[in-house]
Amino acid sequence: MISHYGLWREVLLLVAVAPFVYYILAILAVFRFFGRNQTQARVDYTPPASLLKPVRGVDFGSYENFASFCKQDYPEYEILFAVNDDRDPAVPLIRQIIAEFPQRRIRLFTSAEDLGANRKVNKLAMLAREVQYDVLVLTDGDVRVDPGYLREVVAPLNDKTIGAVTSFYRAIVQDNLGAKLEAIGAASDFFAGVLMARWKEGIRFALGASIATTKDWVRKMGGFESIADALADDYELGLRIANAGGEIVLSREPVWTMYPAQTFRGFWDHQLRWARTVRLCRPFSYLGLLFTQGLPWTLLAVLFAPTALIGSAYVAAYLVLRLPMAWTVGVWGVRDEVLRRNLWLVPVRDAIYFIVWLASFGSKRIRWGSEEYTIRRGQMVPVAGREKTPA
């Protein structure tokens, strides 16, 4: 009996090393991406572009976010906003932006046809029918950009084999613990996973904050209508473009995204929805995330270590590798100031995320805003059911 216990303890201690190996590989992946020679001249490719912005409501940074797209150093482009209906709080602000930037071609659309449960995609489908240009740049309503953003994300599309260009995002947060933890999770962990995926298999998905593509690639992937019920519309868009033969390129110039203050329930629902999204889109990869989570394995190693010295070594290894990994990808690579100022919160976020990871297996239901959906084969089905209505 004692020998069996000793064997299982040795296996556990060996497996507990796996996250440390992952942290080292993630650091290498970050250096491979952000450490490449960046002195090569950028292609001067600036075709007319249509910016598609599906919007729902406003937050603490909405004016600055919308205005940043009106200040682009780019020869010719248009901005198309879409909201659910005329009562949306974003409507007066968008009209203010239109009045303040008369030199820009800005249009506002409402009441998209109900093609599926994903209202954001419904709005994208409506906007895609109204665009004037072939280059399409999709950004969320809570995204803010630099004046050179359009030049950065459109230029790679000069290569017709590239189907989409997607971007990391830096955080702008309100003074709220939940907002900070969510931002830290993206910068210190999620982006490392993206770079590891790029290293191992190439990017076969897109990040919803920013996606640049073309009408032709949207047509090849089946149009926005084909993902109108998809939970992870950004993931599906990138995957389907990749399946259609397009290369997905990851930009080294991040955008900004807002993290507003939230209640504990809001934080929990958002984290759980995100976790279940990943689990349902990439089930095997999601299971593998267990072996990238150093904190729970370190605690197990401390609990079962034969000596206090060995247990302490695991704690030291977690801190010495996890924090530099977070710093390398989030601070050095993405240049996220929220992570830089709150690096000490990384272990707190890791502890919460492990609980979220476990809870994500409890159901196929998610809460999005005030509505609840069940997920069937990656498609959102309203729990209460909704009648499809014409525009």
Assess whether 307 and 214 both reside in one domain.
no
Could you list the pLDDT tens digit for every one of the 391 residues in the chain?
456 667 888 999 999 999 999 999 999 999 999 987 654 556 789 999 999 999 999 999 999 999 999 999 999 999 999 998 899 999 999 999 999 999 999 999 998 888 888 889 999 999 999 999 999 999 999 999 999 999 999 999 999 999 999 999 999 999 999 999 999 999 999 999 999 999 988 999 999 999 999 999 999 999 999 999 888 899 999 999 999 999 999 998 899 999 999 998 889 988 988 888 888 778 888 899 999 999 999 999 999 999 999 999 999 999 999 999 999 999 999 999 999 999 999 999 999 999 999 998 887 776 666 667 777 666 667 776 444 433 3
Whether residues 45 and 144 fall in one domain: yes
CA angle 367, 109, 56 (to 5 degrees): 25
| Counted domains in the chain | 2
13 falls within a domain: yes
| Residues 59 and 133 placed together within one structural domain of the fold | yes
Q: Is residue 353 part of a domain?
A: yes
Assess if residue 14 is contained within a domain.
yes
Domain membership of residue 387 (yes or no) is: no
Three-class SS state of 135: strand
pLDDT of residue 236: 92
Interatomic CA distance for residues 236 and 231, integer angstroms: 9
DSSP 8-state class, residue 172: E
Q: Rounded CA gap, 337 and 323, in Å?
A: 15
- My answer on whether 171 and 234 are in the same domain is yes
Are 368 and 273 a contacting pair, CB within 8 Å?
Answer: yes
Q: Considering 233, 262, 291, which residue would you say is the last residue of a domain?
A: 262
The answer on 50 and 25 residing in a single domain is: no
211 and 299 in a common domain: no
Let me know whether 255 and 357 are in one domain.
no
pLDDT at site 384: 63
What number of H helices and E strands is found in the chain? 16, 11
- 135 and 19 in a common domain: no
Domain membership of residue 180 as a residue range: 38-262
Please indicate, yes or no, whether residues 69 and 204 belong to a single structural domain of this protein: yes
State both tokens at 381.
């089905």
Alpha helical stretches, state H, the chain: 2-15, 18-34, 62-69, 90-100, 119-128, 149-154, 177-185, 191-201, 215-220, 233-243, 264-281, 283-288, 294-304, 308-326, 337-341, 346-359
Q: Establish if 277 belongs to a structural domain.
A: no
- Residue 65 inside a domain? The answer is yes
In a domain, 313, yes or no: yes
Q: Which of 230, 262, 294 is the last residue of a domain?
A: 262
Tell me, yes or no, whether 241 and 309 share the same domain: no
The answer for residues whose C-beta is within 8 angstroms of residue 388's C-beta and 6 or more apart is 114, 115
Question: Judging by beta carbons within 10 Å of its beta carbon (0-12, 13-18, 19+), is residue 356 exposed, middle or buried?
Answer: middle
Count other C-beta atoms under 10 Å from residue 133's C-beta. Answer: 16
Q: Which CATH number is 182's domain given?
A: 3.90.550.10
> Residue 289 is encoded by which pair of tokens?
């995330």
| Whether 48 and 102 share a structural domain | yes
Distance CA 358, CA 285 (A): 15
Domain match, 29 and 43 both? no
Q: In the prediction, which pLDDT does 377 show? A: 63
In a domain, 272, yes or no: no
Which residue type, as a one-letter code, is found at position 40? Q
Joined tokens for residue 163: 């189907």
